[in-house]
Structure 1
Amino acid sequence: MSTKPFNAIGIGVTFSPNLKANIYEAARLSLMFNSRLILIHVGEKSSDKEAKFQSILESFTSDDLDVELVFKLGKTVDVILSASKEKSIDLLILGALQRENFLKYYVGSIARKITRRAECSVLLLVKPSEERVQCEHVVVNGLKDPKTEQTISLAFYVAHTLGADKVTVVEEITEEELAIKVEDDKSLRMANIAKERIRLRENSRVKRIIENIPRTYTNDIAIKSQPIFGQKGYSIGHYAQIARADLLVMNAPSKMTFWDRLFPHDIEHILTELPTDVLIIQ
């Protein structure tokens, strides 16, 4: 893992009620990760707009924040994606929308399209705040996948940088992996034995991954491995919610097809109903 995975952080900015909070969140993260910050505005450039953005950024002037404003005309999704590529953005920050039930957040149509097509990592913010809210608990997927080792490593880097004190690695295991149909007491005992074997196997696999992470990022952090039997995507989202995680870190999907959108699974469950801030690692 690179010692500086996020060289450039980008955020799409519009004149919404959350403008100041979004910029504050992005600026703080840029300083923490020692990254450039690129504000992307879809629309014409004007002195009034520049003055508005600069006035919000004034709070970070003394911190020597490296920031650039990008103004570009076009369709919102295409502009943000093209600007992200042109400016070599490593982490793109997007705001999530709030449902009528104040406990539930979801990704709006524009953010959803960007998330599916982005070639960089994406951070979905559900509750941007002008005042910093301490990140204490990070949950990361530990499913068996070629991308998982990098995702777990980066989750620990992020947790360390944000000052979190706990990381939980969740291994989602489908019931199909048991291959035992519970019909009576005997089959129930066999199923429980099989579950325990899978738990031990998964915990051992995750432990090997964590052992290869620099101790700088794992020291002073309480580490928990949590195997969960259930539907992938939905299970980890539910766990992050009940565990009151401050950040959920997930692998980016390998590819997204029409059928993935029609029959949601894995990351699509997360995008449907965000349990907390979500970092999708590309």
Structure 2
Amino acid sequence: MSLKPFKSIGIGVAYSPNLKANLFEAARLSVFFKSKLFLIHVGQASEEKTNMLSIILKSFKKDDLDYEVVFKTGDPVDVILSTSAEKKIDLLILGAVQREQFVKYYVGSIARKITRRAKCSVLLLIKPSVERIPCKHIVVNGLKDPKTKQTITSAFYVANKLESKKITIVEEINQDLVPIKVDDDKSLRRATIIKERIKLRENSRIKEIIEHIPETHTESIIIKSQPIFGKKGYSIGHYAQISRADLLVMNAPSKMTFWDRLFPHDIEHILTELPTDVLILQ
């Protein structure tokens, strides 16, 4: 299990009002993770564009930022995905868009297509900032899945590098695991007992995962386990929102079919309305 999951970081570069904030976020993460940064621009190369990027990133020279600019023409989705594969990018950074008249964010059509098809991890940013905003609280999924052990381990790696103070591991539990119709005090007690047993079992499973993570990544962090009975994806997104988490870390979904996109579940609930910055780990 790799303790350095992000050796290379990629970001799509569009010459927009958010350019400087996006580049500063990507550059900071590259410095924190000691990763190489690839700036991917869909379009023709020009000296003017290269110089503009160099000027923006000048303040990171003291941090020995290692970056490379890639110019490539074509369809934005295909260019970013093919470049990510060619450059062996481990983490791709994408910006989310604010809905008009609402302080809610959603993944635009291009970013959504990239997120669904990416073979690497994806970080969705809702409020890129030139000034660093500390990442104090990370929420990570703890659902029973083969990918979860690596996801939790990587979340602690990220927390350690970003100097986060708290991690909450949310175990989303299917309500169907409590097959009792509650219609009186007796059935309520039985349902409550079953729920408590499931919570104890889930907490024990999460505790075992944490015990195998290097102590240097866990010792200075407040760790909370939070079992929730509800719909996968929706429940953890809602929890991240109400707990004012700075980052939500999720497993990447298994290969998605047409029906998965037609009937949203798990990660699709998150993509529909981002509660905070979201890191989807492959």
- 1:153-191 Cα distance to aligned partner (Å, 9 max, x none): 000010111000000000001111111121222111111
Distance in 1 between residues matched to 2:281 and 2:31, nearest whole Å? 20
Distance in 1 between residues matched to 2:161 and 2:58, nearest whole Å? 24
One-letter code of the match for 2:228? I
* Match of residue 25 from structure 1: 25
* Match of residue 11 from structure 2: 11
* Match of residue 46 from structure 2: 46
Following superposition, the deviation at residue 102 of structure 1 comes to 4.1
Following superposition, the deviation at residue 53 of structure 1 comes to 1.0
Following superposition, the deviation at residue 101 of structure 1 comes to 4.2
* Match of residue 257 from structure 2: 257
Distance in 2 between residues matched to 1:257 and 1:16, nearest whole Å? 33
Give the TM-score of the pair, scaled to structure 2: 0.99
* Match of residue 216 from structure 2: 216
Distance in 1 between residues matched to 2:124 and 2:43, nearest whole Å? 22
Following superposition, the deviation at residue 80 of structure 1 comes to 0.1
Q: How does 1:76-225 map to 2 (within 5 A)?
A: 76-225=76-225
Distance in 1 between residues matched to 2:86 and 2:211, nearest whole Å? 36
Residue 237 of structure 2: SS of its match in structure 1? helix
Between the two proteins, what is the percent identity of the paired residues?
73
Following superposition, the deviation at residue 95 of structure 1 comes to 0.3
* Match of residue 248 from structure 1: 248
Structure 1 range deviating more: 97-106 or 13-22:
97-106
Distance verdict in 2 for CA 1:13–1:211, change over 3 Å: same
Distance verdict in 2 for CA 1:112–1:136, change over 3 Å: same
Distance in 2 between residues matched to 1:136 and 1:20, nearest whole Å? 23
Unmatched runs of 5 consecutive residues or more in structure 1: none
Which consecutive aligned stretches of 4+ in structure 1 deviate over 3 angstroms post-superposition?
none
Unmatched runs of 5 consecutive residues or more in structure 2: none
One-letter code of the match for 1:249? V
Distance in 2 between residues matched to 1:204 and 1:64, nearest whole Å? 43
**Contact between 2:3 and 2:154, CA under 8 Å: does it hold in 1?**
no
Structure 1 range deviating more: 99-108 or 150-159:
99-108
* Match of residue 230 from structure 2: 230
Structure 1 range deviating more: 115-124 or 50-59:
50-59
* Match of residue 274 from structure 1: 274
Residue 239 of structure 1: SS of its match in structure 2? helix
- 1:79-109 Cα distance to aligned partner (Å, 9 max, x none): 0000000001000000000012443111000
Distance in 1 between residues matched to 2:241 and 2:17, nearest whole Å? 26
How big is the alpha-carbon RMSD for the aligned residues of Structure 1 and Structure 2?
0.8
